[in-house]
Amino acid sequence: MLRRLSCYLLLLFPGCPLLAQSCTKPAPVDSSAAFWRQQLTYPRVRAARATAGPVVAARLRARSLDPDRLEILFRLLKTHRELEVWARNRNGGPYELLHAYPLAATSGTLGPKRRAGDGQVPEGFYEIDRFNPKSNFHLSLGLNYPTAAERALGEPDPGGDIFIHGGEVTIGCLPITDAGIEEVYLLAVLARAAGQTAIPVHIFPFPITDAELAKRPNSPHLAYWRGLRPGYAYFEQHHEPAAPAALAAQ
């Protein structure tokens, strides 16, 4: 049992010589291992591997998720106040909910972000574009806000630097505590090392259904929310993100 666990942890964290000694199959030396080695040059990532790595490995193992084929997707419904992590094996079918991390703080109101300093959390379809192992908030993952579609709205300064991060304070970001970000950061690094170059992040104000929209008939954001609905509904039905062309039409 211990031997099997050690081998699984080696798959999760390639390049660890102590674990490699206990496995019959060594970790391959490829871009995956190189990405891990680069991340492990940072003390906080090494500490996260030590504390959160076994939890992450157990969650993946319980769902028969292969670290070498892992793909993930993040989703947030503001009214639920949780960051959902969905996961699957590459070419292995639809995403399934792996775990949900409660937000430690929130800011702004329901509705998209449009200006720097408005305190709003964006709403729409994004991707992780930065790994920050030296964040002011322990560890953080950056979103590619604003997208081209949001820049096209013409606001002179739509803001930026929106992160999923540790800690318990925020002005427009998604804090999930230091313990939470350690797990989420490791999952994101693992997925990137396994070859997932685009990690989606879907952010919605609430479940975008007819019933929920009908509760807010006078909102100035109603048209925008209706534009997000096809992407929300597609993922709800298929547990797959809609094609990028469809999301761009938000």
DSSP, collapsed to helix, strand or coil, labels residue 186 as helix
Residue 236 identity (one-letter amino acid): E
pTM: 0.87
Considering the chain, what percentage of its residues have pLDDT values greater than 90? Answer: 78
C-alpha span between 29 and 10 (Å, rounded): 13
The string of pLDDT tens digits covering residues 13-56 is 443 322 222 233 333 335 777 889 999 999 999 999 999 999 99
Structure token pair of residue 18: 């102590």
Quote the mean pLDDT of the chain. Answer: 88
Catalytic residue set:
165, 173
Lowest average pLDDT, out of 20-29, 53-62, 124-133, 229-238, goes to: 20-29
pLDDT average, residue stretch 211-226: 97
Enumerate residues 6+ apart whose C-beta is below 8 A from 103: 76, 81, 82, 83, 174, 175, 176
